[in-house]
Amino acid sequence: MIMLRQLLDRLYRTGGIIFPPASADEGGFLRLTLARHKITMPSAEYFQFLSLTDGLIFHGLRFYGVHSHKREKANYTFPSLLEVNMNFYDQKRANTFLIVGETDEDYVTYDFRDKCYHLVDKMDLRSDLVMERFFDILYLLSEDIAKSAQMPLRSAP
């Protein structure tokens, strides 16, 4: 969890938007709601992320939390993990994964079958990348975005 906290701090210092953390009760509410909809939970590591920040925006990379967040200056509401997934499932698209985040072209998902995080193309829903740990996919995507924007995050903690 120390590495995750350090990475979030770096993302914040380089323009990321970090939301207040979700409480343990709010995490429990998310677990209960997912179970009620027969959706398997993401890993414990994702709930650790939520205990540090209830969502993240970093130069087009978005990770969703328990709550939606009104972004008054940007004139929109950043959706919650449940809102994103309910909208996705309402469209009767694949339901073997939970969308935890996204980029402009890909979803970041937690796949129930292999219990791994995937980078999934939004058009054809094919997995382009598989990683076992949430931290690894967050680090890889944020580092890639930082390099594209020419703002290196430095080496991994």
pTM: 0.88
Mean pLDDT, rounded, for 60-88: 91
The residues, ordered by sequence, that sit 6+ positions from 76 with a Cβ below 8 Å of its Cβ are none
By CB atoms closer than 10 A (0-12, 13-18, 19+), residue 147 is: exposed
pLDDT of residue 149: 63
- Res. 131: pLDDT tops 90: yes
Domains of the chain, start order: 2-148 (3.40.1580.10)
Q: How far apart are CA 69 and CA 84, in angstroms?
A: 13
> Of 24-38, 101-115, 138-152, where does mean pLDDT reach its minimum?
138-152
Percent pLDDT > 70 in the chain is 91
pLDDT of residue 154: 53
pLDDT of residue 48: 94
pLDDT of residue 23: 95
Confidence tier at 70 by pLDDT (50, 70, 90): very high
